[in-house]
Structures are given as structure tokens and as C-alpha cells.
Amino acid sequence: MDQLLPFLPKPAQEILVRMSRADKTRLEEIRCRARQPLEFIVSGKVWRMQEKRMPIFHPGDAKEMLQKISRYSFYTLEEELRRGYITIPGGHRIGLAGRVITENGRVLRLREVTFFNIRIAREKIGAARPLVPHLYKKGHWLSALIIGAPQTGKTTLIRDLARLIGEGIPERSVPAQKAGIVDERSEIAGCIGGVPQNRLGKRTDVLDACPKAEGMMMMIRSMSPDVLIVDEIGREEDTEALLESLNAGIAVVATAHAHSIEEISRRPTIRPLIEARLFKRYIALSRVSRSGSPGYRLHVCDEQGRPMTTAEEIWS
Amino acid sequence: MIRLLGASVILFATTVSGILIARGYRNRPKELRQWRSALQAMESEILYGKVPIEELADHLSQQLPAPVSFFFRDLHRSLASGKKSLLEAWNETIEDFWPATSLKRAEKEIIIQFGATLGTQDADNQKKHIQLTLAHLEREEQEARAARAANEKMIKSLGFLAGLLIVLLFL
């Protein structure tokens, strides 16, 4: 959180400093839009200050913020301005929007950046612990697909799973294994200059900002992982690469956007994977709220999609 | 005896000041060349390495000879403290650094103007600004060379001769 402060405009810094500790730990997003009031999202809801209006985010603030994010070196952001997001120290991500310049109908990059969405990354160390008995069998990790709607904590879960794999669990005598992360959107590892900002375990390798399909093949060829970890599969070429890596005998843990297993099995790009029964476990995530604290519920299903157990975890 | 001593003191003083003024003429083209090589190094690091300014300043402070290296050392320190924007850090460092150089007002303007564009553009535009600044500095360097050729020797001998003149007048 402290790493985030210097990037924010002055009024937002002041609000954040005065925000109560409880709200701060549940802060999910800070949204800044030119000429609009600042918006803080706490536990999925817009947060309001008592008896005060939110300050306005001026276009000048936007310019200054971008300068600070680029460390006063705008030319370093070319790639990020094409992708539309930046990872900053601490693994937080800043999504960008504004005016785009194109060349031959393709996005060249953003020029005027006037909308910012600061997503606060929060490592939930231990978030994936309830999954271990389902995914670790006889010294091997099973291939699994984690399914959930946006903001249900798929990435948080997969990140902690990567940590458990790369770190091992000494008290349950689970040894550390080689984990390979293909981190297309720099969300799992939150790499800066190729060095992960998040705790991922000592035996974890990361291909940062690499297209998934190609990255999976690169990872298998070059790093021989025991478990391959990818986020947000769904494109056709992803499926091909997944089929190949699953056939190569490497366990794959992936996530996909969907509300349920039924929904995902209707998706033409993912269906072949399900039909081939390459994933041994499906984990469906949904978001629950218990007395104001965000949490998630997970259903674990076997390779045929039959439910096994339901566990509920509340984050604090 | 006292006279001889006085005469030699005067002669020494004027000769030394002549040499010091002449040194300004000699150093100016040299420093301008250093600045040009600094900018060229910056260009390649920005274009091909996409190195942020803070690191770039650190690299340059190690690569370049004094006195330009001092400027980049101070700029790096100022940026690393994280309290100032690049523009503020650049201008403040230039002000602090200026007494140590033999450069003139015109060069200061060029460098300050360059600082205002630094880091605010994409790589292509940054390159254009660097090229423009290089052209300005090259013109200044030619002028400085001409001034050096015309004045360095003359000022040096003028210092000695002026001293001689004073001594002769007092004799």
C-alpha cells in the first residue's frame, strides 16, 4: 500500500492516509477519471467519505500521475501504453484508458491517458490452502481449471497456489516442485524488470508479459516445469497449447472466466479440453459476503464435473 | 630589493589571471563536446535500452569525465530521493552545477530547454529533441572553438605583457 502512495495525486493521498485501517485493508480499486470525483472501491462498493465530497481529479493530475508512473521517462511506457496497463512495485496494476492512436487500424498506443483504474493487488498468503487436499495426490499436483466471474479472486487463488507449489508445505511433507508461470498480464507474479514482486516460492520460474500459447510451449521446452500455471485461458491457440502440454505429462493449473462449469463446458474453445478429461479437477469460485468481509466459496468437482466438496473461505 | 619583489608579484598576478581567463576559452569547447557525447549516450540508451532517466543519470555519471559527470551524479541523487519531479531536479541541478563550468549563458538555456522535454515524450520524439539539442550544441562548439583560436594565446600573453607594462610604468 505504501508503495502506491507516491503515484497518487495529492488529494487521493490525503484520503488514503485518513481512511480507517479496516477500510484500507478492504480497498480494492481506486478509480481516477479526468474532471470527475475520485472513486474508491471498498469491498466491491463505492466508498463514501463522511460529510465531505470526493475531490475532483483534474486533467493536470492525470498528466502528473502518468509522469510519476513512468518515473519521468515516458518513453519507457511504450509497450504498456499499447497493452493498456502498467504494473508498479508491489504488484499493483494500473489500467489505463484515454485517447488511442492507431496505425492501419491497429492500436499503436494510448496518447492522452485520462482514466486510471488502480487495482490493488493483495497477496492472500494461504488462500489456496483449502485446495491442497484436492489437488495434491500421491506426490503429484493434479491439473485443475479454476472457474469464476471477474473479481472472484481467481488470480489471488492461482498466485497462492503457485507459491504453495514452488515453496512446498513442509508441515504436510509436500516438497517444493518446479512451477512455471506464464504471466501474460503480469498479474500473477507482478514482475518488474523480470523480478517477481509477489511471494511465489523458491522454485518458481516466470515468463512475464508473454503471450500464453507461445509462452506455454517456451516454458515446457526451456524450463521443464512440474506444474505450469496460466491465467485466463479461452482463446483457440491457448487450447492447442494446453492440449499439448497436458499430453506432455505436465500438470497445468489454469483459470477461466465463467460463472459455472456448465457455462464453461458450452464454450467451443474450452470444450475439447473438458471432453478429453485433461483437467482432473474443476474449481468453481463465487463471491460471498459475510458481515461485510469479502470471501469466496469454492466448489471442487472431479474430471467429469461431478461435485466433490464445497468449502468456504472468508478473507479478512 | 623591495622593488624587484613588488615587480615580480605584479607580474606573477597578471600572468596567472591571464592563464585563468585563457583556461575558460580552452575548456568551453571541451565541455561542450562532453555534453554532446552525454546526449549521444542518452539517445542510444533511450532509443534502444529504454532506460529510465534516474538510471541513465547514474550510468552517465560513471561513463563521462568531470565536470559533466558531476552534473549527472547530482541529478541521479536528486531523483533517487524521490521528492522532486524531473523538471525540478534538472533545473536545480543545473543551477548548482553552473559555477563549476566554463560554459556561457546560451549553453545553459539550451540545456535547460532540453531538460523541459526530457522524459515527456515517446522515444521517437525524444530522439528529435536530442538531435535538435545536439545541433544547437554543435553550433556553440564551433563558435567556442573559433573564440578559443582567436583568444586563448592572446589572453595568455596579454596577461604577462600587461604585468610587464605596469612594472615598467612604476619603474
Domain layout of chain B by residue ranges: 2-170
Query: Which pLDDT belongs to residue A32?
Result: 93
Using CA atoms, how far apart are residues A125 and A250, in angstroms rounded to an integer? Answer: 25
Mean pLDDT of all residues belonging to chain B: 89
Query: Which pLDDT belongs to residue A191?
Result: 84
| Cell numbers for A303 | 474430471
The A residues from 82 to 141 touching B (CB cutoff 8 Å) are 109
% chain A with pLDDT above 70: 96
Cis amide bond preceding B67, omega within 30: yes
Residue type present at position A123: E
Find the distance separating the first CA and the last CA of chain B, reported in whole Å. 13
Length of chain A: 316
Residue type present at position B18: G
The A residues from 194 to 253 touching B (CB cutoff 8 Å) are none
A74 touches chain B (CB under 8 A): yes
Question: Alpha carbon A248 to chain centroid distance?
Answer: 26
Question: How many contacts (CB atoms, under 8 Å) link A and B?
Answer: 47
Inter-chain contact B122–A75, Cβ cutoff 8 Å? yes
Q: Which residue of A has its CA nearest to B116?
A: A72
Inter-chain contact A71–B53, Cβ cutoff 8 Å? yes
Inter-chain contact A67–B85, Cβ cutoff 8 Å? yes
Of A64, A72, A109, the CB nearest to B119: A72
Query: Which pLDDT belongs to residue A290?
Result: 62
Using CA atoms, how far apart are residues A210 and A205, in angstroms rounded to an integer? Answer: 13
A75 touches chain B (CB under 8 A): yes
SS3 A222: helix
Q: Which residue of A has its CA nearest to B47?
A: A75
Tell me which fold the domain A129-314 belongs to. Rossmann fold (3.40.50)
Listing from the earlier edge strand, what are the strands of the sheet with A227-230? A204-208, A179-183, A227-230, A251-257, A144-148, A281-290, A293-301, A307-314
Query: Helix H segments across B45-171?
Result: 53-63, 68-80, 86-97, 105-117, 123-170
pLDDT bracket for residue A109 (50, 70, 90): confident
Q: Which position has the grid cell 492472500?
A: A124
Give pLDDT tens digits for A227-273.
999 988 888 888 888 888 877 888 999 999 888 888 888 888 888 88
**In 10 A of CB B22, how many CB atoms?**
20
Of B79, B82, B122, the CB nearest to A74: B122
Residue type present at position A58: H
Q: Which residue of A has its CA nearest to B85?
A: A72
Strand partners, A252: A228
B123 touches chain A (CB under 8 A): yes
Of A72, A75, A109, the CB nearest to B46: A75
Q: What are phi and psi of A40, to 5 degrees?
A: -115, 130
Query: Which pLDDT belongs to residue A292?
Result: 60
Using CA atoms, how far apart are residues B15 and A270, in angstroms rounded to an integer? Answer: 88
Of A64, A67, A78, the CB nearest to B123: A78
CB-based contact A153:A128 (threshold 8 Å): no
Using CA atoms, how far apart are residues A297 and A256, in angstroms rounded to an integer? Answer: 16
Tell me which fold the domain A5-119 belongs to. Beta-Lactamase (3.30.450)
Residue type present at position A237: E
Using CA atoms, how far apart are residues A92 and A169, in angstroms rounded to an integer? Answer: 27
Q: DSSP of A212-240, one letter per residue?
A: HHHHHHHHHHHH--SEEEES---SHHHHH
Mean pLDDT of all residues belonging to chain A: 86
Q: What are phi and psi of A202, to 5 degrees?
A: -80, -15
Of A6, A64, A75, the CB nearest to B50: A75
Question: Alpha carbon A101 to chain centroid distance?
Answer: 27
A76 touches chain B (CB under 8 A): yes
Q: How far is A190 from chain B (nearest CA, A)?
A: 19
B57 touches chain A (CB under 8 A): no
SS3 A142: coil
Find the distance separating the first CA and the last CA of chain A, reported in whole Å. 16
In terms of C-beta density within 10 A (0-12 exposed, 13-18 middle, 19 or more buried), how is residue A236 classed? exposed
pLDDT bracket for residue A115 (50, 70, 90): very high
Give pLDDT tens digits for B54-89.
889 999 999 988 888 999 999 999 888 877 888 889
| Cell numbers for A222 | 526451456
Give the up-direction half-sphere exposure of residue A110: CA atoms within 13 A in the CB hemisphere.
22
Give pLDDT tens digits for A186-230.
888 888 778 888 888 899 999 988 888 899 999 988 998 999 999
Nearest to B102 by CA among B143, B149, B67, B50: B67
Query: Which pLDDT belongs to residue A313?
Result: 67
Any idea of the CA torsion for A34, A102, A119, A201, to the nearest 10 degrees? -160
The contacts of residue A257 (CB under 8 Å, 6+ apart) are A148, A149, A150, A232, A234
Using CA atoms, how far apart are residues A100 and A82, in angstroms rounded to an integer? Answer: 9
A293 touches chain B (CB under 8 A): no
Residue range A86-110: average pLDDT? 88
Inter-chain contact B121–A75, Cβ cutoff 8 Å? yes
| Cell numbers for B82 | 524521490
SS3 A51: coil
Residue range B123-131: average pLDDT? 91
Q: Are strands A85-88 and A92-103 parallel, antiparallel or unpaired?
A: antiparallel
Query: Would you list the domain boundaries of chain A?
Result: 5-119, 129-314
Q: How far is B71 from chain A (nearest CA, A)?
A: 18
In this predicted structure, the answer to whether residue A299 has a pLDDT above a threshold of 80 is yes
Inter-chain contact A72–B85, Cβ cutoff 8 Å? yes
In this predicted structure, the answer to whether residue A316 has a pLDDT above a threshold of 50 is no
Question: Which candidate in B53, B58, B90 is best for mutational testing of the A interface (most A CBs within 10 A)?
Answer: B53
Q: Which position has the grid cell 545553459?
A: B108
Of B56, B85, B121, the CB nearest to A74: B121
Using CA atoms, how far apart are residues A32 and A53, in angstroms rounded to an integer? Answer: 15
Give pLDDT tens digits for A2-52.
778 888 888 888 888 888 888 888 888 899 999 999 999 887 788 888 777
| Cell numbers for B80 | 533517487
In this predicted structure, the answer to whether residue A315 has a pLDDT above a threshold of 70 is no
Query: Which pLDDT belongs to residue A253?
Result: 92
Angle at B52 between CA A116 and CA A17, to 5 degrees: 45
